[in-house]
């Protein structure tokens, strides 16, 4: 079966589809938030920074405490924390959360621009 001749209208249609696909790929790439991973070496005590906030995780008798403190007063990052935690105190530059459910081996922090996944070592 012989191939059909490429007409001008078919060629324009292919080019338009190609441009739409390239545009969708570039848009999705630019709007996808950054994901940062941090691996804690010790399950009992771990610290890192995320978007100008100092995050300290400590564990005692399977109760985890997360303290978040601002490095400078100009930082006003709002983020979502793992729903297994509830806020127990909130000061001007520091918040403290404690787990109300068992904690998995990852704790996720999400902000508008990026996400931080903290990987905790397994028990034992």
pLDDT in tens, 40-66: 888 788 888 887 788 888 887 767 788
| pLDDT beyond 70 at 78 | no
Look at residue 26 in the predicted model and tell me its pLDDT.
93
* Over residues 77-95, mean pLDDT: 71
The predicted model scores a pTM of: 0.61
Looking at residue 124, its pLDDT comes to 52
**pLDDT tens-digit readout, 97-115:** 787 676 777 888 887 778 8
SS3 of the chain: CCCCCCCHHHHHHHHHHHHHHHHHHHHHHHHCCEEEEEECCCCCEEEEEECCEEEEEEEECCEEEEEEEECCCCCCCCEEECCCEEEEEECCCEEEEEECCCCCCEEEEEECCEEEEEECCCCC
Q: Tens of pLDDT along 9-46?
A: 999 999 999 999 999 999 988 887 788 888 888 878 88
- pLDDT score for 74: 57
């Amino acid at each position: 079966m012989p191939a059909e001749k490429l007409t001008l209208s078919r060629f324009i249609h292919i080019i338009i589809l190609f441009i739409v696909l390239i545009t969708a790929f570039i848009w999705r790439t630019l709007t996808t938030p950054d994901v940062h991973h941090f691996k804690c070496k010790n399950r009992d005590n771990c610290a890192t920074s995320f978007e100008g906030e100092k995050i300290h995780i400590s564990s005692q008798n399977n109760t985890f405490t997360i303290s978040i403190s601002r490095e400078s007063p100009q930082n006003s990052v709002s983020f979502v924390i793992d729903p297994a935690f509830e806020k127990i105190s909130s000061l001007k530059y520091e918040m403290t959360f404690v787990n109300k459910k068992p904690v998995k081996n990852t704790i996720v922090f999400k902000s508008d621009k990026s996400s931080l996944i903290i990987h905790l070592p397994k028990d034992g």
